[in-house]
Amino acid sequence: MESNSSKQRGGLWKWLAILTVVTALIVFLLISADHLLFYQTRSAADSQRSRVEVPVLSYHSVNSKATNKYVVTPEQFREQMSALHDMGYKSINLRQFDALMKGKIKNTGKFILITFDDGYADNYKQAFPIMKKYGFTATMFAITNWMGSGSYATWNDLGELQKNGWDIMPHTRSHPDLPLLSSEEQTDEVAGSKQAIENHLHRKVNAMAYPYGLRSEETVKIVEKCGYDYAFTFEDGWTTSEQNPLLLKRLIVFGTDDLSTFRMKLQNRS
């Protein structure tokens, strides 16, 4: 007959075995949780590092006669460029923008892409000298059929800008509401303006801006088919690497913006 002491020893070994299993399970869970937290933290950090944000300013005319809300006076523009300079911003061209979006160069947080839509002569006569003073360059999206007429820059003007580090890209041939056109007409506007700039300025074209920011799914497909890497809309906000490269946002600058409003655009990342 088994003694009481033997039973007690058996019970003790049983509880020790259970305690060992429970302890091992707790240690396993703690290690697993620690590893999970580590990978989640690293994943979040990697995601943060891979996301690129850059302000892309959208201007139109720089003129002392404010005919619409998109016209910025030379005085306003000078103040804004001075502010960018004082804030430590460095303008980039489209080649640098491409490298930045692809993570090929480190984002310092002080890169800025400055763009002008339409191709007004005052971009050359007014904006260019002011920007040159601060070491800034820009990208002009030109309406190619309108160059040299009325208030628009000449091809010689565009050539001078290009020699001084500006990128000249298309804003279509005649600035239509693209989604209202047939597929053939849209292709003519998108491809024709690309060819015009390549013929006149002898450089590769890989970016454009949609007239009025308007486009349809078909428009975007046509833009891609015509060989564009980037296309800019008229949607207000910071440009990020997570956006469709053919549907990039910009920060719209209005003639009604005072300097504090302008600075705020560069601080509110949305």
**Do 248 and 192 share a structural domain?**
yes
**Do 81 and 8 share a structural domain?**
no
Q: For residue 208, is it within any domain?
A: yes
The CATH number assigned to the domain holding 153 equals 3.20.20.370
**What is the tens place of the pLDDT at every residue in 7-66?**
555 555 666 556 665 565 664 555 454 444 444 444 444 444 579 999 999 999 999 998
**Do 224 and 162 share a structural domain?**
yes
Q: For residue 188, is it within any domain?
A: yes
**Do 189 and 115 share a structural domain?**
yes
Q: For residue 151, is it within any domain?
A: yes
**Do 216 and 178 share a structural domain?**
yes
**Do 196 and 63 share a structural domain?**
yes
Q: For residue 157, is it within any domain?
A: yes
**Do 135 and 5 share a structural domain?**
no
Q: For residue 108, is it within any domain?
A: yes
Query: Per-residue confidence of the chain (270 residues) as pLDDT tens digits?
Result: 555 555 555 555 666 556 665 565 664 555 454 444 444 444 444 444 579 999 999 999 999 998 999 999 999 999 999 999 999 999 999 999 999 999 999 999 999 999 999 999 999 999 999 999 999 999 999 999 999 999 999 999 999 999 999 999 999 999 999 999 999 999 999 999 999 999 999 999 999 999 999 999 999 999 999 999 999 999 999 999 999 999 999 999 999 999 999 999 999 876
Neighbouring C-beta atoms of residue 31, cutoff 10 Å = 10
Q: For residue 128, is it within any domain?
A: yes
Mean pLDDT of the chain: 90
**Do 62 and 39 share a structural domain?**
no
Report the percent of the chain where pLDDT is more than 90: 79
Give the residue numbers spanning the domain of 66. Answer: 54-265
pLDDT at residue 36, rounded to an integer: 47
Q: For residue 10, is it within any domain?
A: yes
Query: Are the beta carbons of 118 and 143 closer than 8 angstroms?
Result: yes
Q: For residue 270, is it within any domain?
A: no
**Do 140 and 32 share a structural domain?**
no
Q: What would the two tokens of residue 42 be?
A: 């690293």
**Do 65 and 43 share a structural domain?**
no
Query: Are the beta carbons of 141 and 171 closer than 8 angstroms?
Result: yes
Buried b (16+ CB within 10 A) or exposed e, 191-206: bbbbebbeebbeeebb
**Do 114 and 5 share a structural domain?**
no
**Do 36 and 145 share a structural domain?**
no
Query: What angle, rounded to 10 degrees, do the helices at 183-201 and 155-163 form?
Result: 60
Query: Are the beta carbons of 186 and 218 closer than 8 angstroms?
Result: yes
Domain count, the chain: 2
